[in-house]
Structure 1
Amino acid sequence: MEPHYQFSDAAFEKQFKHGLLHPSYFTHEAHLRLAWIHITKYGLENAIENITSQLEAFTKLNNEETKYNKTVTIAAIRAVFHFILKSKSDNFRDFIDEFPRLLFEFRDLLGYHYAFNIFDSEEARTTYLEPDLQPFD
């Protein structure tokens, strides 16, 4: 079990927001969970604003600024939103069980939207780049 599950959604959100979450707990799945929490609680646009600013602060606090990628972060939030619209789940664990592709095929999912590698693009790290293949719904 992922270590971020030791926290309730509210506690996980608070730990992350205040920079108290141990960096090793912030896995890909934890990133998706944070997106799910913020989207369901604050809506898509506020989720994007909250998570990007908090993640920038989190990576800076932990001297991991080079790991932050603005395009990947926003694309992940938009991907989670896309699947939330199709979901019947009312909690993250059920949601991720319903859509495991977000965990196991994440790069492939983003490949439907981007013709270039946003994971290694220096420009994508600092500026949100809109999809050049298919926009997010």
Structure 2
Amino acid sequence: MNDRDFLLQFDNCTLPPELFDHKAHLRLAWLQIKEYGLEQALKNCGEQISKYASFHGDHQKFNMTITNASVYAVNHFMKDENSFEEFIEKNPQLLSNLKALINSHYSYDIFADKNARELFIEPDVQPFI
């Protein structure tokens, strides 16, 4: 699926949930950063993923802190790649080890923090930027 169709289907919640996996989350972040920059991408991704999860009855899976941390991670590794596929080929650790990368910024397991679902909790070990 091309980027335009991916964004359109995601935005109008017609992207099948089985296609919105971990890699698709990273793709969304990459596309948003490329188009709008980091600050707007953080806002857009949070709003869009929350809306998408609610629409598909999975709002309990949404986590604002993990969403923002993932956007920060994608931004950190972005260089001058021309496509998401090129980006992910250069940064496979984002597919295989993102949880550990995010947890390295916190002194506790942020994935288990109930408050992290609804609001962004700043890292307490190392800032993202």
Unaligned runs of 5+ in 1: 1-6
Residue 124 of structure 1 and its aligned partner are, at CA, apart by 0.5
Q: Which residue number corresponds to residue 117 of structure 1?
A: 109
Q: What is the TM-score with the length of structure 2 in the denominator?
A: 0.97
Unaligned runs of 5+ in 2: none
- Partners of 2:6 and 2:31 lie apart in 1 by 9
Q: Look up the equivalent residue of 2:15 and give its one-letter code.
A: L
Residue pair 2:106, 2:125 contacting (<8 A) in 1 also: yes
Residue 120 of structure 1 and its aligned partner are, at CA, apart by 1.6
Q: Which residue number corresponds to residue 16 of structure 1?
A: 10
Partner secondary structure for residue 53 of structure 1: helix
Q: Look up the equivalent residue of 2:50 and give its one-letter code.
A: E
Q: Percent identity?
A: 40
Residue pair 2:103, 2:110 contacting (<8 A) in 1 also: no
- Partners of 2:14 and 2:43 lie apart in 1 by 20
Match of 1:76 among 61, 70, 85: 70
Q: What is the TM-score with the length of structure 1 in the denominator?
A: 0.91
Aligned length in residues: 129
